[in-house]
Amino acid sequence: MNGLRARVRDALVAGARGLTLSLMGWVPSVALSVLAVVSISLYPLGIGALTTPSVLRMVRAYANRRRLLAARWAGIRIPAPYEPLPSPASGGLMGRVELTNQLLKDPATWRDLRWLSVDTIASAAVASLAPYLLLEGVFGILLAAGLWQPIVAANGDFWYEFVPVTGWASAFAAGAVGCVWTAVALRWNPVLIRTNFRITEAQLAPTAAELARRVEKLTETRRNAADASAAELRRIERDLHDGAQARLVAMGMDLGAIEMLLDKDPAKARQLLAHTRQSSVDALAELRDLVRGIHPPVLAERGLGDAVRALALRLPIATEVTVDLNGGRADAPVESAAYFAVSEILTNAAKHSGADRVWVDLHHTDGMLRIAVTDDGRGGAVIAAGSGLAGVERRLGTFDGVLAVSSPAGGPTLVTMEIPCALS
Protein backbone atom coordinates (compact mmCIF):
# COMPACT_ATOMS: atom_id res chain seq x y z
CA MET A 1 0.00 0.00 0.00
CA ASN A 2 2.82 2.38 0.91
CA GLY A 3 4.54 1.53 -2.36
CA LEU A 4 1.40 2.50 -4.31
CA ARG A 5 1.08 5.76 -2.43
CA ALA A 6 4.69 6.60 -3.14
CA ARG A 7 4.22 5.79 -6.82
CA VAL A 8 1.10 7.97 -7.02
CA ARG A 9 2.91 10.81 -5.27
CA ASP A 10 5.91 10.52 -7.59
CA ALA A 11 3.65 10.49 -10.65
CA LEU A 12 1.77 13.59 -9.48
CA VAL A 13 5.00 15.44 -8.68
CA ALA A 14 6.45 14.44 -12.05
CA GLY A 15 3.28 15.65 -13.75
CA ALA A 16 3.56 19.06 -12.09
CA ARG A 17 7.24 19.27 -12.98
CA GLY A 18 6.51 18.22 -16.55
CA LEU A 19 3.95 21.01 -16.85
CA THR A 20 6.50 23.50 -15.50
CA LEU A 21 9.22 22.33 -17.87
CA SER A 22 6.96 22.33 -20.90
CA LEU A 23 5.81 25.89 -20.13
CA MET A 24 9.44 26.93 -19.71
CA GLY A 25 10.26 25.39 -23.07
CA TRP A 26 7.37 27.09 -24.84
CA VAL A 27 7.67 30.57 -23.30
CA PRO A 28 11.09 31.62 -21.92
CA SER A 29 13.08 29.36 -24.26
CA VAL A 30 11.30 30.68 -27.33
CA ALA A 31 11.57 34.30 -26.15
CA LEU A 32 15.27 34.08 -25.32
CA SER A 33 16.03 32.22 -28.55
CA VAL A 34 14.35 34.95 -30.62
CA LEU A 35 16.04 37.74 -28.64
CA ALA A 36 19.46 36.13 -29.02
CA VAL A 37 19.09 35.56 -32.78
CA VAL A 38 17.87 39.11 -33.40
CA SER A 39 20.53 40.68 -31.17
CA ILE A 40 23.43 38.72 -32.69
CA SER A 41 22.11 39.42 -36.19
CA LEU A 42 22.19 43.16 -35.46
CA TYR A 43 25.72 42.99 -34.02
CA PRO A 44 27.50 43.78 -37.33
CA LEU A 45 25.39 46.96 -37.53
CA GLY A 46 26.55 48.06 -34.07
CA ILE A 47 23.10 47.93 -32.48
CA GLY A 48 23.60 44.38 -31.28
CA ALA A 49 26.69 45.41 -29.30
CA LEU A 50 24.39 47.26 -26.90
CA THR A 51 22.00 44.36 -26.35
CA THR A 52 23.95 41.13 -26.96
CA PRO A 53 25.88 41.03 -23.64
CA SER A 54 22.68 41.44 -21.63
CA VAL A 55 20.77 38.89 -23.72
CA LEU A 56 23.54 36.28 -23.55
CA ARG A 57 23.89 36.79 -19.81
CA MET A 58 20.15 36.14 -19.49
CA VAL A 59 20.58 32.98 -21.57
CA ARG A 60 23.38 31.83 -19.27
CA ALA A 61 21.31 32.53 -16.17
CA TYR A 62 18.38 30.62 -17.66
CA ALA A 63 20.60 27.66 -18.61
CA ASN A 64 22.09 27.64 -15.12
CA ARG A 65 18.59 27.62 -13.67
CA ARG A 66 17.83 24.53 -15.74
CA ARG A 67 21.08 22.94 -14.51
CA LEU A 68 19.92 23.59 -10.96
CA LEU A 69 16.53 21.98 -11.64
CA ALA A 70 18.25 18.97 -13.20
CA ALA A 71 20.27 18.45 -10.03
CA ARG A 72 17.30 18.99 -7.70
CA TRP A 73 14.60 17.10 -9.59
CA ALA A 74 16.56 14.31 -11.27
CA GLY A 75 19.94 14.14 -9.55
CA ILE A 76 21.64 14.95 -12.87
CA ARG A 77 24.55 17.35 -12.52
CA ILE A 78 25.39 19.29 -15.67
CA PRO A 79 28.71 21.22 -15.60
CA ALA A 80 28.71 24.90 -16.55
CA PRO A 81 32.04 25.24 -18.38
CA TYR A 82 31.82 28.95 -19.18
CA GLU A 83 34.99 30.88 -19.76
CA PRO A 84 35.43 33.51 -17.01
CA LEU A 85 34.57 37.03 -18.11
CA PRO A 86 36.88 39.71 -16.71
CA SER A 87 35.63 43.26 -16.55
CA PRO A 88 36.21 44.96 -19.91
CA ALA A 89 39.29 47.13 -20.13
CA SER A 90 37.26 50.09 -21.37
CA GLY A 91 33.78 51.34 -20.69
CA GLY A 92 30.94 52.48 -22.90
CA LEU A 93 30.33 51.06 -26.35
CA MET A 94 33.88 49.72 -26.77
CA GLY A 95 33.62 47.89 -23.47
CA ARG A 96 30.37 46.22 -24.57
CA VAL A 97 31.91 45.30 -27.92
CA GLU A 98 34.85 43.70 -26.09
CA LEU A 99 32.49 41.80 -23.78
CA THR A 100 30.35 40.66 -26.71
CA ASN A 101 33.43 39.33 -28.51
CA GLN A 102 34.43 37.39 -25.40
CA LEU A 103 30.95 35.89 -25.10
CA LEU A 104 30.74 34.94 -28.77
CA LYS A 105 34.17 33.28 -28.66
CA ASP A 106 33.05 30.98 -25.84
CA PRO A 107 31.82 27.62 -27.24
CA ALA A 108 29.43 27.34 -24.30
CA THR A 109 27.49 30.36 -25.63
CA TRP A 110 26.66 28.59 -28.88
CA ARG A 111 25.86 25.41 -27.00
CA ASP A 112 23.33 27.36 -24.91
CA LEU A 113 21.70 28.78 -28.03
CA ARG A 114 21.49 25.34 -29.63
CA TRP A 115 19.93 24.00 -26.43
CA LEU A 116 17.23 26.70 -26.52
CA SER A 117 16.09 25.45 -29.93
CA VAL A 118 16.02 21.83 -28.77
CA ASP A 119 14.25 22.80 -25.55
CA THR A 120 11.36 24.42 -27.40
CA ILE A 121 10.67 21.18 -29.33
CA ALA A 122 12.05 17.88 -28.06
CA SER A 123 12.48 18.66 -24.36
CA ALA A 124 9.13 20.43 -24.03
CA ALA A 125 7.34 17.64 -25.90
CA VAL A 126 8.78 14.95 -23.62
CA ALA A 127 7.98 16.98 -20.49
CA SER A 128 4.40 17.67 -21.59
CA LEU A 129 3.66 13.93 -21.83
CA ALA A 130 3.80 13.64 -18.01
CA PRO A 131 0.84 15.93 -17.23
CA TYR A 132 -0.98 14.75 -20.38
CA LEU A 133 -0.95 11.09 -19.31
CA LEU A 134 -2.30 11.95 -15.87
CA LEU A 135 -5.03 14.30 -17.07
CA GLU A 136 -6.11 12.01 -19.89
CA GLY A 137 -6.26 9.01 -17.54
CA VAL A 138 -8.29 10.87 -14.92
CA PHE A 139 -10.63 12.23 -17.60
CA GLY A 140 -11.34 8.70 -18.93
CA ILE A 141 -12.14 7.47 -15.41
CA LEU A 142 -14.48 10.44 -14.86
CA LEU A 143 -16.27 9.61 -18.11
CA ALA A 144 -16.99 6.11 -16.76
CA ALA A 145 -18.25 7.73 -13.53
CA GLY A 146 -20.98 9.60 -15.42
CA LEU A 147 -19.30 12.68 -16.86
CA TRP A 148 -20.11 11.39 -20.33
CA GLN A 149 -23.85 12.22 -19.96
CA PRO A 150 -23.70 16.05 -19.88
CA ILE A 151 -20.94 16.06 -22.50
CA VAL A 152 -22.91 13.87 -24.94
CA ALA A 153 -26.10 15.80 -24.19
CA ALA A 154 -24.39 19.08 -25.04
CA ASN A 155 -22.24 18.00 -28.00
CA GLY A 156 -23.81 14.88 -29.40
CA ASP A 157 -21.15 12.45 -30.59
CA PHE A 158 -18.02 12.47 -28.44
CA TRP A 159 -14.77 10.58 -28.91
CA TYR A 160 -12.36 9.77 -26.11
CA GLU A 161 -9.13 8.73 -27.77
CA PHE A 162 -10.31 6.00 -30.18
CA VAL A 163 -13.55 5.21 -28.26
CA PRO A 164 -16.87 6.77 -29.44
CA VAL A 165 -18.78 7.48 -26.22
CA THR A 166 -22.54 7.12 -26.71
CA GLY A 167 -23.75 5.22 -23.63
CA TRP A 168 -22.72 3.47 -20.47
CA ALA A 169 -21.01 0.59 -22.23
CA SER A 170 -18.76 2.86 -24.29
CA ALA A 171 -18.20 5.07 -21.25
CA PHE A 172 -16.91 2.05 -19.31
CA ALA A 173 -14.62 1.27 -22.25
CA ALA A 174 -13.33 4.86 -22.08
CA GLY A 175 -12.79 4.37 -18.33
CA ALA A 176 -10.74 1.24 -19.04
CA VAL A 177 -8.55 3.20 -21.47
CA GLY A 178 -8.24 5.94 -18.83
CA CYS A 179 -7.02 3.35 -16.32
CA VAL A 180 -4.39 2.25 -18.82
CA TRP A 181 -3.17 5.86 -19.26
CA THR A 182 -3.13 6.31 -15.49
CA ALA A 183 -1.08 3.15 -15.05
CA VAL A 184 1.33 4.34 -17.73
CA ALA A 185 1.62 7.71 -15.93
CA LEU A 186 2.32 6.01 -12.59
CA ARG A 187 5.10 3.98 -14.14
CA TRP A 188 6.67 6.35 -16.64
CA ASN A 189 6.12 9.95 -15.49
CA PRO A 190 9.36 10.11 -13.44
CA VAL A 191 11.20 8.53 -16.37
CA LEU A 192 9.85 11.22 -18.71
CA ILE A 193 11.20 13.97 -16.45
CA ARG A 194 14.61 12.30 -16.31
CA THR A 195 14.53 11.95 -20.11
CA ASN A 196 13.83 15.67 -20.41
CA PHE A 197 16.90 16.44 -18.34
CA ARG A 198 18.99 13.88 -20.22
CA ILE A 199 18.19 15.78 -23.42
CA THR A 200 19.23 18.99 -21.67
CA GLU A 201 22.42 17.33 -20.46
CA ALA A 202 23.27 16.17 -23.98
CA GLN A 203 22.99 19.76 -25.21
CA LEU A 204 24.59 21.69 -22.33
CA ALA A 205 27.34 19.35 -21.14
CA PRO A 206 30.87 20.19 -22.37
CA THR A 207 32.43 18.17 -25.16
CA ALA A 208 35.40 15.86 -24.75
CA ALA A 209 37.66 18.44 -26.41
CA GLU A 210 36.56 21.12 -23.96
CA LEU A 211 37.14 18.79 -21.04
CA ALA A 212 40.60 18.06 -22.41
CA ARG A 213 41.35 21.79 -22.60
CA ARG A 214 40.03 22.15 -19.07
CA VAL A 215 42.38 19.41 -17.87
CA GLU A 216 45.29 21.14 -19.63
CA LYS A 217 44.41 24.42 -17.96
CA LEU A 218 44.13 22.77 -14.55
CA THR A 219 47.50 21.08 -15.12
CA GLU A 220 49.05 24.42 -16.01
CA THR A 221 47.55 26.19 -12.99
CA ARG A 222 48.68 23.37 -10.73
CA ARG A 223 52.20 23.67 -12.12
CA ASN A 224 52.10 27.44 -11.62
CA ALA A 225 50.85 26.93 -8.07
CA ALA A 226 53.70 24.50 -7.37
CA ASP A 227 56.23 26.96 -8.83
CA ALA A 228 54.77 29.79 -6.77
CA SER A 229 54.86 27.65 -3.65
CA ALA A 230 58.50 26.72 -4.26
CA ALA A 231 59.41 30.37 -4.87
CA GLU A 232 57.61 31.38 -1.68
CA LEU A 233 59.46 28.70 0.27
CA ARG A 234 62.79 29.94 -1.11
CA ARG A 235 61.87 33.50 -0.13
CA ILE A 236 61.04 32.40 3.42
CA GLU A 237 64.31 30.47 3.67
CA ARG A 238 66.26 33.47 2.33
CA ASP A 239 64.55 35.89 4.71
CA LEU A 240 65.22 33.57 7.64
CA HIS A 241 68.84 33.08 6.65
CA ASP A 242 69.62 36.74 5.96
CA GLY A 243 67.50 38.18 8.74
CA ALA A 244 66.40 36.48 11.93
CA GLN A 245 68.89 33.61 11.68
CA ALA A 246 71.85 35.96 11.25
CA ARG A 247 70.70 38.03 14.24
CA LEU A 248 70.28 34.92 16.39
CA VAL A 249 73.80 33.75 15.47
CA ALA A 250 75.17 37.19 16.32
CA MET A 251 73.29 37.10 19.62
CA GLY A 252 74.91 33.77 20.48
CA MET A 253 78.35 35.21 19.76
CA ASP A 254 77.56 38.30 21.85
CA LEU A 255 76.42 36.17 24.75
CA GLY A 256 79.71 34.25 24.58
CA ALA A 257 81.66 37.51 24.67
CA ILE A 258 79.55 38.76 27.58
CA GLU A 259 80.34 35.58 29.52
CA MET A 260 84.08 36.23 29.11
CA LEU A 261 83.80 39.96 29.97
CA LEU A 262 81.69 39.59 33.12
CA ASP A 263 84.79 39.34 35.36
CA LYS A 264 87.30 41.33 33.30
CA ASP A 265 85.20 44.32 32.12
CA PRO A 266 81.65 44.44 33.63
CA ALA A 267 80.93 47.83 32.04
CA LYS A 268 81.73 46.53 28.57
CA ALA A 269 79.65 43.40 29.33
CA ARG A 270 76.65 45.53 30.30
CA GLN A 271 77.00 47.56 27.10
CA LEU A 272 77.19 44.41 25.01
CA LEU A 273 74.20 42.97 26.90
CA ALA A 274 72.08 46.02 26.00
CA HIS A 275 73.08 45.58 22.35
CA THR A 276 72.12 41.89 22.53
CA ARG A 277 68.74 42.78 24.02
CA GLN A 278 68.09 45.18 21.13
CA SER A 279 69.15 42.46 18.67
CA SER A 280 66.58 40.13 20.21
CA VAL A 281 63.87 42.78 19.77
CA ASP A 282 64.90 43.29 16.13
CA ALA A 283 64.93 39.51 15.50
CA LEU A 284 61.45 39.17 16.99
CA ALA A 285 60.19 42.01 14.79
CA GLU A 286 61.67 40.36 11.71
CA LEU A 287 60.05 37.04 12.62
CA ARG A 288 56.69 38.78 13.06
CA ASP A 289 57.05 40.46 9.66
CA LEU A 290 57.94 37.13 8.12
CA VAL A 291 54.89 35.45 9.65
CA ARG A 292 52.73 38.36 8.52
CA GLY A 293 54.06 37.84 5.00
CA ILE A 294 53.07 34.17 5.09
CA HIS A 295 49.55 34.73 6.45
CA PRO A 296 48.71 38.05 8.10
CA PRO A 297 46.99 37.67 11.49
CA VAL A 298 44.40 40.32 10.61
CA LEU A 299 43.39 38.23 7.58
CA ALA A 300 42.90 35.10 9.66
CA GLU A 301 41.10 36.91 12.48
CA ARG A 302 38.98 39.55 10.75
CA GLY A 303 38.70 38.52 7.12
CA LEU A 304 39.61 39.94 3.73
CA GLY A 305 37.81 43.28 4.03
CA ASP A 306 39.60 44.39 7.21
CA ALA A 307 42.91 42.97 5.96
CA VAL A 308 42.67 45.13 2.81
CA ARG A 309 41.77 48.15 4.95
CA ALA A 310 44.89 47.46 7.04
CA LEU A 311 46.96 47.38 3.84
CA ALA A 312 45.50 50.74 2.83
CA LEU A 313 46.44 52.30 6.19
CA ARG A 314 50.10 51.36 5.66
CA LEU A 315 50.15 52.78 2.12
CA PRO A 316 51.85 56.19 1.72
CA ILE A 317 49.05 57.23 -0.67
CA ALA A 318 45.52 58.29 0.28
CA THR A 319 43.47 55.13 -0.25
CA GLU A 320 39.70 54.63 -0.14
CA VAL A 321 38.42 51.07 0.40
CA THR A 322 34.84 49.94 -0.25
CA VAL A 323 33.88 46.43 0.89
CA ASP A 324 30.59 44.60 0.34
CA LEU A 325 30.86 40.90 1.18
CA ASN A 326 27.38 40.51 2.72
CA GLY A 327 28.93 39.54 6.04
CA GLY A 328 30.45 36.35 4.60
CA ARG A 329 33.96 35.02 4.11
CA ALA A 330 35.59 33.05 1.32
CA ASP A 331 37.73 29.99 1.90
CA ALA A 332 41.11 30.74 3.50
CA PRO A 333 43.18 29.96 0.34
CA VAL A 334 40.97 32.29 -1.74
CA GLU A 335 41.20 35.05 0.86
CA SER A 336 44.98 34.66 0.98
CA ALA A 337 45.32 34.81 -2.82
CA ALA A 338 43.07 37.88 -3.03
CA TYR A 339 44.92 39.60 -0.16
CA PHE A 340 48.40 39.16 -1.63
CA ALA A 341 47.10 40.12 -5.10
CA VAL A 342 45.74 43.40 -3.72
CA SER A 343 48.94 43.89 -1.73
CA GLU A 344 51.08 43.51 -4.87
CA ILE A 345 48.92 45.91 -6.87
CA LEU A 346 48.88 48.53 -4.11
CA THR A 347 52.66 48.22 -3.73
CA ASN A 348 53.08 48.75 -7.47
CA ALA A 349 50.83 51.81 -7.30
CA ALA A 350 52.85 53.27 -4.46
CA LYS A 351 56.24 52.59 -6.12
CA HIS A 352 55.66 53.21 -9.81
CA SER A 353 52.41 55.03 -10.58
CA GLY A 354 53.08 58.48 -9.11
CA ALA A 355 49.44 58.47 -8.00
CA ASP A 356 47.97 60.79 -5.39
CA ARG A 357 44.96 58.63 -4.65
CA VAL A 358 43.90 54.98 -4.89
CA TRP A 359 40.43 53.43 -4.76
CA VAL A 360 39.80 49.78 -3.88
CA ASP A 361 36.36 48.24 -4.44
CA LEU A 362 35.82 44.70 -3.14
CA HIS A 363 32.47 42.94 -3.44
CA HIS A 364 30.87 39.54 -4.02
CA THR A 365 28.04 38.98 -6.52
CA ASP A 366 26.80 36.06 -8.60
CA GLY A 367 29.26 33.62 -7.02
CA MET A 368 32.20 35.84 -7.95
CA LEU A 369 34.62 37.78 -5.76
CA ARG A 370 35.33 40.99 -7.68
CA ILE A 371 38.11 43.43 -6.80
CA ALA A 372 38.87 46.66 -8.63
CA VAL A 373 41.92 48.82 -7.81
CA THR A 374 42.06 52.25 -9.46
CA ASP A 375 44.75 54.91 -9.18
CA ASP A 376 45.11 58.37 -10.71
CA GLY A 377 48.76 57.87 -11.64
CA ARG A 378 50.66 58.12 -14.91
CA GLY A 379 49.48 54.76 -16.31
CA GLY A 380 51.48 52.44 -18.52
CA ALA A 381 51.07 49.29 -16.41
CA VAL A 382 51.20 46.02 -18.40
CA ILE A 383 51.21 42.30 -17.62
CA ALA A 384 54.77 41.45 -18.68
CA ALA A 385 56.62 38.19 -18.13
CA GLY A 386 58.35 38.20 -14.76
CA SER A 387 56.44 41.25 -13.53
CA GLY A 388 54.43 41.49 -10.34
CA LEU A 389 51.19 41.57 -12.33
CA ALA A 390 52.16 38.33 -14.08
CA GLY A 391 52.67 36.79 -10.65
CA VAL A 392 49.24 38.01 -9.58
CA GLU A 393 47.71 36.49 -12.72
CA ARG A 394 49.34 33.13 -11.94
CA ARG A 395 48.19 33.29 -8.32
CA LEU A 396 44.59 33.97 -9.35
CA GLY A 397 44.73 31.33 -12.09
CA THR A 398 45.13 28.67 -9.42
CA PHE A 399 41.52 29.41 -8.43
CA ASP A 400 40.20 29.96 -11.99
CA GLY A 401 40.46 33.69 -11.34
CA VAL A 402 41.19 36.30 -14.00
CA LEU A 403 43.07 39.60 -14.10
CA ALA A 404 42.45 42.53 -16.45
CA VAL A 405 44.47 45.74 -16.65
CA SER A 406 43.48 49.04 -18.26
CA SER A 407 46.34 51.54 -18.00
CA PRO A 408 46.58 54.01 -20.89
CA ALA A 409 49.50 56.45 -20.99
CA GLY A 410 48.69 59.34 -18.69
CA GLY A 411 46.40 57.16 -16.57
CA PRO A 412 44.27 56.31 -14.80
CA THR A 413 45.11 52.65 -14.11
CA LEU A 414 42.30 50.18 -13.43
CA VAL A 415 43.14 46.64 -12.35
CA THR A 416 40.19 44.25 -12.02
CA MET A 417 40.23 40.75 -10.58
CA GLU A 418 37.55 38.07 -10.43
CA ILE A 419 37.72 34.82 -8.45
CA PRO A 420 34.81 32.34 -8.52
CA CYS A 421 34.01 31.39 -4.94
CA ALA A 422 31.20 31.04 -2.40
CA LEU A 423 30.97 32.89 0.89
CA SER A 424 30.20 31.17 4.16
242-264 confidence digits (pLDDT tens): 556 666 666 677 777 777 777 77
Round to whole Å and give the CA distance between 193 and 171.
Answer: 31
* Same structural domain, 249 and 173: no
d(CA 99, CA 129): 40
Is pLDDT above 60 for 291?
no
* pTM (two decimals): 0.56
pLDDT in tens, 63-79: 888 988 888 898 888 88
137 vs 99 pLDDT, higher one = 137
Residue with more model confidence, 294 or 73: 73
Residues 311 and 286 in one domain: no
Q: Residue range 370-395: average pLDDT?
A: 80
* Domain of residue 358, CATH code: 3.30.565.10
Are residue 273 and residue 174 in the same domain, yes or no?
Answer: no
Same domain (yes/no): 67, 128: yes
Question: Of 204, 226, 245, which residue sits at a domain end?
Answer: 204
* Residue of higher predicted confidence among 221 and 10: 10
Q: How would residue 173 be classed by pLDDT, with cut points 50, 70 and 90? A: confident
Are 353 and 411 in a shared domain?
Answer: yes
Assess whether 313 and 261 both reside in one domain: no
Residues 83, 108: one domain? Answer: yes
Q: Which domain holds residue 336?
A: 301-420
58 with 162, same domain: the answer is yes
Specify whether 85 is located in the same domain as 186.
yes
Check residues 54 and 285 and name the one with the higher pLDDT: 54
Instruction: Output the pLDDT for position 198.
Output: 92
Residue 204 has pLDDT above 80, yes or no: yes
What is the tally of structural domains in the chain?
3
| Domain stop point among 251, 267, 294 | 294
Statement to judge: residues 109 and 88 lie in one domain: yes
Short-list 196, 31, 26, 54, CA closest to 120: 26
Could you tell me if 12 and 53 lie in one domain?
yes
Q: How confident is the model at residue 89 (pLDDT cuts 50, 70, 90)?
A: very low
Assess whether pLDDT exceeds 80 at residue 312.
yes
pLDDT band at 108 (very low <50, low <70, confident <90, very high): confident
Q: Which pLDDT tens digit goes with each residue over 328-375?
A: 888 888 888 888 888 888 888 888 888 888 889 988 887 788 888 888
pLDDT digits (tens, 9 = 90+) for 116-164: 989 888 888 898 888 988 888 888 888 888 887 888 777 777 787 888 8
Average pLDDT over residues 201-211: 78
Per-residue pLDDT, 194: 92
Mean pLDDT of 236-242: 60
**161 or 62: which leads in pLDDT:** 62
Q: Give yes or no for a contact between 380 and 421, defined as CB atoms under 8 angstroms apart.
A: no
Which residues, other chains included, contact 130 with Cβ-Cβ below 8 Å and sequence gap of 6+? 14, 15, 17, 18, 19, 185, 189, 192, 193
Of 204, 226, 249, which closes a domain? 204
Tell me the three state secondary structure of residue 49.
Answer: helix
Give the phi and the psi of residue 330 in degrees, each rounded to 5.
Answer: -80, 170
User: Which of 150-164, 198-212, 221-235, 247-261 has the lowest average pLDDT?
Assistant: 221-235
Question: Is a pLDDT exceeding 70 seen at residue 232?
Answer: no
305 and 404 fall within a common domain: yes
Q: How far lies 266's CA from each of 258, 269, 278, 374, in Å?
A: 9, 5, 18, 59
Can you tell me the mean pLDDT for 33-44?
88
Residues forming a β-bridge with 360? 321, 373
pLDDT exceeding 70 applies to what percent of the chain? 82
Distant-in-sequence, close-in-space partners of 255: CB < 8 Å, separation ≥ 6? 276
Order the strands of the 368-375 sheet from edge to edge: 318-324, 357-365, 368-375, 413-420, 402-406
- Looking at the chain, the whole-number percentage of residues with pLDDT higher than 90 is 5
Is the confidence at residue 305, as pLDDT, over 80?
yes
Q: Phi then psi for 272, rounded to 5 degrees?
A: -70, -30
Dist. CA 320–CA 302, nearest whole Å: 19
Average pLDDT, the chain: 79
Query: What are the φ and ψ backbone dihedral angles of 322, each rounded to 5 degrees?
Result: -120, 125
